[in-house]
Structure 1
Amino acid sequence: MPTRALSSTRLRGLLPELLRFGSVGAVAFVVDVGLFNLLRFGPGHLLEAKPLTAKVVSVAVATLVAWLGNRHWTFSDRRTASRTREFIGYSLVNVGGMVIAVGCLWFSHYVLGLQTALADNIAANVVGLGLGTAFRYLGYRSWVFTGDEEKPVAGVGPVLEPDQVG
């Protein structure tokens, strides 16, 4: 009976996917943090007094950027036949990730009283985003990109467990 533990062979097989996920996430991170700070502290201070609204808007835009990158690059070998179902699932997982980030910001800003630009960025874009990213990756693999994972990506073959190697 094969074990469910993450073997080094399986980890090596996941590494390219994790690197693609990280690259897409880095672009989405720049969009998220840049837009959040632009809305809060940029010209006109559009949402200066509304940090939670600024975070929701920035996450929504970054989500669209990340969905396109993850669908067409990171998980291109696991896409489902229904783009609509996939986008709805992707959006729901991102709402969960956003709730984590906004919850960290809310706790820091309103409960702890840490209301500087630095404190808001650390709460939302370091702690919240870090926890939310882990949640998103697991959610995408488990609930969103659930298509045929046996189709190889260019240069990456199927992941074999040690008991499957001849």
Structure 2
Amino acid sequence: MTTTTASNPSLTQKLRGLSGEAVKFGIVGLSGVVVNFAVFWICINGLHLASLRSNIAATLIAIFTNYLGYRYWLYRDRDAASRKREITLFLLFSGAGMLIETGVLGFSVYLLGLDSHFEQLAAKVGGLALGTVFRFVSYRTWVFKAVPEPVAETAPATATAEATAAPAGAAAVVAQAELVLATERIRLAKAE
């Protein structure tokens, strides 16, 4: 039986990391909310568009600004080996979040008859809250995947017992890093 000095973080450390991530997610999300509500207000008051059309236009613009914040600030250290996959999943989950938000707005306007501008804004806040929870879970789980953890170090007493296993684990990490670098080189070559 082999024992290792655990490099697994404690539950408290995991929750601290998650809370820091949630705060940054909230900051990016809040900037998106400001964009979303500003465009929504302009669409329904300035352009006199219907509330659902205004909501969709506002949410699409906010999705674009949020992607930039998530990719280049919050999740900049996450695996970016496949941008096409990442953007596709981001748009898919953002679209699902938009459907949640628009569904709540449509329900309140067309079924409950709450159609004043302030009632629409209140419904938009409720839908945005539900959509945000969905987006947070889906983005961190499927879109911006974490880079694999390095191989854990072993205790000195068991280091000789695992001496033959360590090169295989280290080789796997090196091989994966080389694959990521090769993918980035190909992506950059295509961009030029």
TM-score normalized by the length of structure 2: 0.70
Does 2:21 correspond to 1:17?
A: yes
Q: Secondary structure at the match of 2:77?
A: helix
Shift of 1:105: 0.3
Supply the distance in 1 between the matched residues of 2:118 and 2:131 (Cα, whole angstroms): 19
Q: Partner of 1:157 in structure 2? A: none
Percentage identity across aligned positions?
Answer: 38
Amino acid at match of 1:74: L
Supply the distance in 2 between the matched residues of 1:51 and 1:90 (Cα, whole angstroms): 24
Shift of 1:85: 1.1
Q: Judging changes above 3 Å, is the alpha-carbon distance between structure 1 residues 17 and 150 closer, same or farther for their aligned structure 2 residues? A: farther
Does 2:66 correspond to 1:66?
A: yes
Deviations 1:20-74 (A, max 9, x none): 11110011000000000100012xx341xx1111111110000000001001111
Point out 4+ residue stretches in structure 1 off by more than 2 angstroms: 6-9
Supply the distance in 2 between the matched residues of 1:15 and 1:36 (Cα, whole angstroms): 30
Supply the distance in 1 between the matched residues of 2:104 and 2:35 (Cα, whole angstroms): 19
5+ unaligned residues in a row in structure 2: which ranges?
1-9, 151-192
Q: Partner of 1:130 in structure 2? A: 129
1:52–1:102 contact (8 Å) kept in structure 2: yes
Supply the distance in 1 between the matched residues of 2:92 and 2:75 (Cα, whole angstroms): 17
For this pair of structures, how many residues does the alignment match? 141
How much is the aligned-residue C-alpha RMSD, in angstroms?
A: 1.6
TM-score normalized by the length of structure 1: 0.80
Supply the distance in 2 between the matched residues of 1:149 and 1:74 (Cα, whole angstroms): 17
Supply the distance in 2 between the matched residues of 1:18 and 1:76 (Cα, whole angstroms): 15
Q: Partner of 1:38 in structure 2? A: 42
Supply the distance in 2 between the matched residues of 1:128 and 1:53 (Cα, whole angstroms): 15
Supply the distance in 2 between the matched residues of 1:14 and 1:146 (Cα, whole angstroms): 14
1:71–1:79 contact (8 Å) kept in structure 2: no
Shift of 1:149: 5.4
1:79–1:145 contact (8 Å) kept in structure 2: yes
Supply the distance in 2 between the matched residues of 1:35 and 1:110 (Cα, whole angstroms): 21
Shift of 1:75: 1.2
5+ unaligned residues in a row in structure 1: which ranges?
1-5, 152-166
Q: Partner of 1:162 in structure 2? A: none
Q: Secondary structure at the match of 1:78?
A: coil
Q: Partner of 1:141 in structure 2? A: 140
Shift of 1:15: 2.1
Q: Secondary structure at the match of 1:98?
A: helix
Shift of 1:77: 1.7
Q: Partner of 2:89 in structure 1? A: 89
Q: Secondary structure at the match of 2:68?
A: helix
Shift of 1:10: 1.1
Shift of 1:84: 1.5
Q: Partner of 2:154 in structure 1? A: none
